[in-house]
Every structure is written in C-alpha cells, then in structure tokens.
C-alpha cells in the first residue's frame, strides 16, 4: 500500500482524535505532554482502558502495550486498585499530613526491596533519581556522578547527558561538567572513570539502557558493585521500570546484586503518579531533621499522597505473590517469538528481543545471530541498538494503531492480564503492519 494511502486511512479512522489534536497543538507544544507520545500524523486520544485494552474517542479498541509507560503491570482498572483509590478519594485526597496508608506502603516496599532499610516517597521517577543523587552527593561530600551512556533516569538536569534527549538545550554547563559518561557494559572504562576523580554516585538501569534496549552483560552488575565499594561511590540502581516487574524485589532480586540506593516509580504507586527512593539506612538517614545543617532537603506537595499510596499498597500486595510477574513474562516470551517468526518470514533486518515482561524491536539490525541468540548475552553493537530509526518506528506505530495495537514503536510492556488471544492478535497485527510498511513507497 502507498505510504500516503496509509496516512489517509489513519486520518479517516481517527477523525475525532484529529480534531482534538488540531485544538491541542494551538495550546500545548506539539499537542503532547510527554515527548514519547509524539505521533505522526497525530496522536490518538484515549478515553478509557480495561485490562489489557483501551479505547479512543472514535470508538476504536486497542490491545495496549504502552501500559501506562510501564506502570500498569496489572493492566488498566485492576478491580482492587480501583476500589482502593475510589475508597480513598471518598475519604480525601490530601491531608497535608501523615496518614496510615503511607506507613503500610513503606512496610510493603521495605519488605519487598532487598537492602531497603528506609524509604522516602516522591511524586515521580524523575524526582526519585534527583533525590537519590542528592543523597549520594551529601553522603560522600562529592559532586561528580558517573552515568552510563544511553541509560535513562528521567528529565532533570544531571541525568540528561547520554539520555534520549542528550543534547537538550537549557542544561547548565556546570551541571554537565559534573557528569562523566561511560559506555555500557564496559567495566574497564568505568574503573578508569572512578580512578580519575572522586565520584559521588554511579547510577544505572540494572536491566541495561532504556529498560534493556542495550541489555546488561551478565556479571556486569556484580563488577560495578565491587567498583562502587572500592571507590566509595554510592551505587544507585534506577528501578523505575524494573522495580516490581523483573521480580517482586526488582532487579536486585532478579540479578542477585544489591545497590546502595534504589529508585522506583510507576508500579510502586500502582499506576498513579509517584516514586520512591529506598536503601541503606546510613544514607537515607541524611533526610532526618536531627542532622541539622547536614540534612538533605526533600519537600514535595504530593510526596506519598493518599491516592498514590492507596493504589501502591493495593498493587504491591498483589504483585508480592509473584503471580502477575510470571503471567506477564510468559506472554512476553510468546510475543517475542511470534514477532521474530514474522520478521524471519518477511526477511527484514529487524530483531525482537527482551526479557521478563519487556519487549524491544530493533530495526536496521545487521546482527548475524538475529533472533537466534539469547539477548541476555547480546554482544551486538550497543550504539546500533540505541540509535533508534524514529521515522520508521513512527510508521510502525501508526500502522499498529490502524491494526488495533498500541505500543511505543520500539517496544513495550506486557501486563499480567494480556490473554493468549491478545498475543495472537498482536502478532497478526504486527504481520499486517510490517507488510503495509514494506509495500509502501517510502520504504
């Protein structure tokens, strides 16, 4: 099908979304409120979700792998989460005070997350990494941070280098100078960086960059652990994605390596806005008033807010059983296998991979092993994996939307409530979408 024909089909199928977008872009830059939601020719506007599905303003239904940016391991509208939030909303949404649910929430996080002596709640994952880095700097009395290239930790200034928006204007030079970037999975480079200058923290995504887009090399986390200890740098695992998804205890449990601090978001607050930092008592203790001038500042109007606490407690109680994780993982493996079957049949240079309940699709992939390899020992060029072909991904996403599936374009998150039929239909939609891309003029 001609490229223009697909675009025309999109315009016809989503007229109400188009109207909303025309109105939105006059008020909101690009009409979007998160960079990753940018879509061409325009985004679809969603009205509601249930389980693994969601619906748009034009009445179209989608199998959803955006999953609330990875927050919805239990799917949309899990009855226990909905009930907990509704119940709390009836009692009040903000007391400007301590409340019992935050105590239960803390108890759950501490019981699940290895090495968590203390926890503090934030309003987002970005705030969690901001707080963790501040704590590390205060604890060590050092400013420099070592970050791994391509790893993503939110959008505050210190973590911009090496992230998807690595060249964002508006970040002070002095902040950029405090950050040392190291290539992922390269322990020699990391050791050299730590030897070069005293470092406050090493921060990384334990799954590998961008929730496993560049998979972590087996053994690497243990090597980093040793380097952190040897050089006195606080090791921060950013578990905003991996927390409560790879295992009830997150990546620390999954890989058997403990960090000093762990940052969380998304699932920790049951799909509502929220985040957390947990870890060693001697570091977390810097938040205590008794430290006087040595206290690390951490205000925040919505920290530990009752609605997020209610959703978080309900979700974590369910996730603690391990059952949702096992269900989501099994569906993900089937999805990846199906995608690779299509890729092989079409003879295109793509590869589907991933681990646990996260999948990735690499385009322009000239890896000889392709889908035959086990991606946890992926040795493919990390620069190629991280260099997204965004125009092609946007086309794939557009075609998938036309075929009744929503995902990021380069991958997605599977929930515990995706059914076998959802997986089957997604693979069929993928096959049609790829066909439509590769028979178009633009490709």
Residues within the interface to ligand PLP (CB under 6 A) = 69, 124-126, 129, 152-154, 205, 238, 240-241, 265, 275
The gap from C-alpha 12 to its chain's centroid, in whole angstroms, comes to 32
Angle between helices 390-402 and 420-438 (to 10 degrees): 120
Smallest separation (angstroms) from ligand PLP to the CB of 119: 16
CB-based contacts of 439: which residues, under 8 Å, 6+ apart? 1
Smallest separation (angstroms) from ligand PLP to the CB of 240: 3
Smallest separation (angstroms) from ligand PLP to the CB of 250: 12
Smallest separation (angstroms) from ligand PLP to the CB of 131: 12
Of the pair 126, 140, the CB lying nearest ligand PLP is at 126
Of the pair 185, 340, the CB lying nearest ligand PLP is at 185
**Residue closest to ligand PLP (Cβ):** 125
Smallest separation (angstroms) from ligand PLP to the CB of 271: 11
Return the H-helix or E-strand segment holding 147.
Answer: strand 145-148
Smallest separation (angstroms) from ligand PLP to the CB of 392: 22
Smallest separation (angstroms) from ligand PLP to the CB of 361: 17
Of the pair 266, 395, the CB lying nearest ligand PLP is at 266
Of the pair 275, 412, the CB lying nearest ligand PLP is at 275
Alpha helices in 2-99 (DSSP H): 3-13, 15-24, 67-70, 79-91
Nearest to 119 by CA among 233, 262, 249, 9: 262
E strands, 172-323, where?
179-182, 201-204, 208, 214-215, 234-238, 261-265, 275-279
Of the pair 124, 140, the CB lying nearest ligand PLP is at 124
Of the pair 31, 154, the CB lying nearest ligand PLP is at 154
How many CB atoms within 10 Å of residue 96? 6
Of the pair 9, 69, the CB lying nearest ligand PLP is at 69
CA angle centred on 83, ends 310 and 245, rounded to 5°: 60
Measure the N-to-C terminal CA separation of the chain; round to a whole number of Å: 11
Smallest separation (angstroms) from ligand PLP to the CB of 124: 4
d(CA 179, CA 149): 11
The gap from C-alpha 174 to its chain's centroid, in whole angstroms, comes to 28
Of the pair 20, 315, the CB lying nearest ligand PLP is at 315
Smallest separation (angstroms) from ligand PLP to the CB of 205: 5
Return the H-helix or E-strand segment holding 436.
Answer: helix 420-438
Of the pair 237, 380, the CB lying nearest ligand PLP is at 237
Query: What phi and psi values does residue 324 have, to the nearest 5 degrees?
Result: -60, -35
CB-based contacts of 355: which residues, under 8 Å, 6+ apart? 207, 212, 215, 246, 375, 376
Q: How many CA atoms lie within 13 A of 75 on its CB side?
A: 21
How many CB atoms within 10 Å of residue 155? 18
Nearest to 151 by CA among 139, 138, 164: 164
């Amino acid at each position: 099908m001609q490229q223009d024909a697909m675009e025309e089909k999109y315009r016809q199928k989503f007229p109400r979304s188009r109207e909303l977008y025309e109105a939105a872009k006059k008020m909101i830059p690009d009409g979007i409120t998160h960079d990753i939601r940018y879509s061409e020719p325009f985004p679809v506007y969603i009205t509601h979700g249930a389980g693994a599905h969601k619906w748009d303003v034009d009445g179209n239904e989608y199998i959803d792998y955006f999953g609330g940016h990875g927050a919805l391991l239990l799917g949309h509208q899990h009855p226990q989460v909905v009930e907990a939030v509704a119940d709390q909303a009836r009692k009040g949404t903000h007391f400007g005070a301590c409340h019992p649910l935050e105590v239960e929430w803390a108890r759950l996080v501490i019981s699940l997350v290895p090495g968590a002596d203390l926890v503090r709640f934030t309003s987002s994952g970005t705030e969690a990494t901001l707080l963790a880095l501040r704590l590390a700097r205060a604890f060590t009395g050092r400013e420099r941070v070592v970050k791994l290239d391509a790893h993503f930790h939110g959008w505050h200034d210190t973590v911009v280098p090496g992230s998807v928006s690595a060249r964002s204007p508006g970040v002070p030079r002095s902040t950029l100078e405090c950050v040392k970037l190291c290539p992922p999975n390269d322990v020699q480079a990391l050791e050299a960086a730590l030897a070069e200058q005293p470092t406050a923290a090493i921060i990384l995504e334990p799954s590998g960059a961008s929730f496993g887009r560049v998979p972590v090399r087996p053994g690497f986390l243990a090597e980093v652990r040793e380097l952190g200890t040897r050089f006195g740098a606080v090791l921060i695992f950013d578990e905003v994605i991996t927390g409560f998804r790879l295992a009830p205890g997150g990546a620390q449990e999954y890989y058997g390596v403990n960090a000093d601090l762990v940052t969380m978001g998304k699932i920790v607050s049951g799909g509502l806005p929220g985040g957390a930092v947990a870890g060693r008592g001697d570091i977390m203790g810097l938040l205590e008033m008794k430290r006087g001038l040595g206290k690390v500042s951490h205000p925040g109007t919505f920290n530990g807010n009752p609605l997020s606490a209610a959703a978080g407690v309900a979700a974590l109680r369910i996730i603690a059983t391990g059952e949702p994780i096992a269900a989501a993982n099994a569906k993900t493996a089937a999805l990846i296998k199906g995608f690779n079957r299509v890729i092989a049949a079409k003879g295109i240079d793509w590869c589907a991979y991933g681990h646990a309940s996260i999948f990735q699709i690499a385009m322009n992939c000239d890896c000889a092993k392709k889908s035959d390899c086990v991606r946890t020992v992926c040795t493919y060029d990390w620069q190629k994996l991280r260099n997204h072909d965004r125009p092609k991904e946007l086309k794939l996403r557009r075609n998938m939307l036309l075929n009744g599936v929503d995902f990021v374009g380069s991958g997605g998150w599977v929930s515990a409530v995706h059914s076998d039929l959802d997986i089957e239909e997604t693979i069929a939609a993928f096959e049609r979408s790829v066909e439509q891309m590769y028979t178009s003029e633009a490709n």
